[in-house]
Amino acid sequence: MPELNRTIDDIFVSEALECAENAGLNGLEIASRVADAPTRMSLRQYGQFWYALAHEMQDEMLGMTEYQMRPGSFALMCHSILGATTIEKAIRRALWFLKVVAGSPYGVLTVRGGQAHITFIDPDGPNSAFAYRTLMIVLLGPICWLARRRIPLLQVSFRCAAPAGASAYNRLFGTPVQFEAPATKLVIASDHLTLPAHLTETALKRYLKDTPGNLLVGYQSGDDLIGRATESLMKTPARLWPDFDGFAQQFGMSPSTLRRRLKGQGASYRSIKADVRRALAIRLLTDGQGTVSDIAYELGYAEPSAFFRAFQIWTGKTPAQFRHGQTSD
């Protein structure tokens, strides 16, 4: 897996080293076993460091959850979701497993308005951004593997202050991360819940061979074409998005090559634009700033009515109904 040779953001190494320090361990010494420059690692080396640290601590969550998650727990969780027939069943089973094995913070899945919300409950108050991030990728990594595609995130919010270098979290999840939010949650389109989940024990063995390093691949926005395309569109005002030929040129590909590669990852330019528009619309409506007409213009719609219809298809609600629901929560 060539993506595992990419360099990981320094903040994630620093956070893991802090976990080692909190456990009374010499994190730099452990890191030096797998990397010449312990503070500058590839994803593969980071995975090896995490594995070594988890073995020393006897906790795959590195002390960030209520209970120790003994080494081997993650592999057992993956085996437990292997028999799920849909992504929804796999998510519910994984959340159940994590709650039983790791305790809090624990996740709860709810579905409403065309969206699936995975909300993490922390009864003892806000946890660290690193703890929330780790729980999310431990959940999302195998779920995306089981779905055989990168599941776009409509919203990522943390019930804690932003850490230093928080922009790395945006790159990791491929979407802006909101800090100091009322709740820690992930939001995806509910139609992903119906995706079939059929993979074999042999495929799982191959997947587990590269964990935990490969957990970061699924949401490292530069590590796959869908992530790079999403990041590019997020940085550009929607009304300035290029046509498909112009977009292919940005990636140094012919239109046919880009179309084929996106199809191979279960996506198209049209579906990526829809996912980005949906994520931006939800963020703008949640923030409560701007009229629906303003938001429609910002999202590149010629008429507010076109945005109105699209949003109803995405969520089953009008923009006004969605905004009212957010303020009522």
Q: Where are the domains of the chain?
A: 66-215, 225-328
Q: Please tell me whether the overall predicted TM-score, pTM, comes out greater than 0.75 for this model.
A: no
Query: Mind listing the pLDDT tens digit for each residue in 20-79?
Result: 999 999 998 998 888 877 667 887 888 888 889 999 999 999 999 999 999 999 999 999
Non-local CB neighbours of 175 within 8 Å, separated by 6+ positions? 152, 153, 154, 155, 156, 230, 234, 279
Non-local CB neighbours of 284 within 8 Å, separated by 6+ positions? 290, 295, 298, 299
Mean pLDDT is highest, among 96-100, 152-156, 187-191, for 96-100
Domain 225-328 listed as CATH 3.40.50.80: no
**Comparing C-alpha atoms, which of 153, 156, 165, 157 is closest to residue 181?**
157
More confident residue, 33 or 328: 33
Instruction: Let me know how long the chain is.
Output: 329
Q: What is the predicted pLDDT for the residue at 6?
A: 73
Report d(CA 64, CA 105) in Å as an integer.
9
Report d(CA 10, CA 238) in Å as an integer.
31
